[in-house]
Amino acid sequence: MTDVDLDAEQYEKNREAGEILAQVRNEAVEKVEVGASHLEVAEWAEDRIRELGGEPAFPVNISIDEEAAHATPSIDDTSTFGEDMVNLDIGVHVDGWLADTAVTVDLSGNPELAEASEEALEAALDTVAPGVETGEVGAVIEDVIEGYGYNPVVNLTGHGLGHWEQHTPPNIPNRAVDQGIEFEVGDVVAIEPFATDGAGKVREGSDEEIFALENDGSVRNRQARQALKQITDEFRTLPFATRWLDTSRAEMAVRRLKQQNILHGYPVLKEEDGCLVSQKEHTIIVTEDGCEVTTEL
């Protein structure tokens, strides 16, 4: 198979992942309501992805209020939605080719904060073209969010999407930066503005439910060995949730694998002032005259 054929096949899988993801995102939004279960919404979305022919690229993130990323329910999570600002961040892969999207569902009565990240994304997508620098896109995002009276979250960025890799270059900042990388035709990237009524930075919290393979290794414990085999075979280097593991005593198995530096964790990221965060994200393929959004129906 030639490189041209291979590229065409890859992009078709990116598009297929995006189409599945757009449908699941839109359906999942309808399930986010006061009283609904976080765990049931996450598991429903992950199962729906599989029903439609994809695989989750990472556990469904359900971030509440000051949470910005990496929050997913545990296996015994009993949380339900209240009058919250809810960010749903969902990923799909088809044979390792990815799509990534996010949307804010505002149950908190702060619609303008959700609108700020949404408008910033639309403006960013209008800016993307071959030769445009990532910093120019960041400047547009910052300008729109500040125009609403809010701040962008400056230590979170958009990112490239690789084969079995959720985060690759280039990073797409959410503020103006002097130096950036020029977009090229064929780049597959996720652009994700975050807006907040706080200072605009996130910090790591103590909760951690998402992990990924970092290094090869071996362990003596039987449950840890079983977990490692499943992780290596099914998820490869993509993030997974402890609740996805089939082994008994999964939490213990993950803890052992992390202690031996075989896994790394993703702590929940929270706005450092405890303020609300909204998010909107699409995956795009850069084209000769702009970009193609793969996560829109």
Distance CA 227, CA 134 (A): 39
Eight-class DSSP state of 133: B
Q: Is 70 annotated as a binding residue?
A: yes
Select which of 38, 93, 159, 282 is catalytic.
Answer: 159
Q: Is 83 annotated as a binding residue?
A: no
Select which of 100, 106, 115, 271 is catalytic.
Answer: 100
Q: Is 159 annotated as a binding residue?
A: yes
Examine the residue annotation and report whether 159 is marked as an active-site residue of this protein: yes
Examine the residue annotation and report whether 192 is marked as an active-site residue of this protein: yes
Select which of 16, 43, 66, 89 is catalytic.
Answer: 89
Q: Is 84 annotated as a binding residue?
A: no
**Cβ–Cβ contacts within 10 Å for residue 262, how many?**
22
Contacts for 155 with CB less than 8 Å, ≥ 6 apart:
201, 202
Examine the residue annotation and report whether 246 is marked as an active-site residue of this protein: no
Answer positive or negative: Cα dihedral of 283, 285, 287, 293: negative
Q: Is 143 annotated as a binding residue?
A: no
Question: Are the beta carbons of 277 and 68 closer than 8 angstroms?
Answer: yes
Write phi, then psi, for 229 (nearest 5 degrees): -65, -45
Examine the residue annotation and report whether 89 is marked as an active-site residue of this protein: yes
Select which of 66, 192, 197, 209 is catalytic.
Answer: 192
Distance CA 92, CA 1 (A): 25
Among candidate residues 283, 288, 285, the one with its CA nearest the CA of residue 10 = 285
Select which of 167, 182, 251, 273 is catalytic.
Answer: 167
Select which of 84, 187, 281, 282 is catalytic.
Answer: 281
Among candidate residues 294, 286, 297, the one with its CA nearest the CA of residue 100 = 294
Examine the residue annotation and report whether 95 is marked as an active-site residue of this protein: no
Q: Is 65 annotated as a binding residue?
A: no
Q: Is 122 annotated as a binding residue?
A: no
Write phi, then psi, for 89 (nearest 5 degrees): -120, 120
Q: Which residues are annotated as a binding site for substrate?
A: 70, 167
- For the annotated catalytic residues, the residue numbers are 89, 100, 159, 167, 192, 281
Indicate the annotated binding residues: 70, 89, 100, 159, 167, 192, 281
Annotated binding site for a divalent metal cation: 89, 100, 159, 192, 281
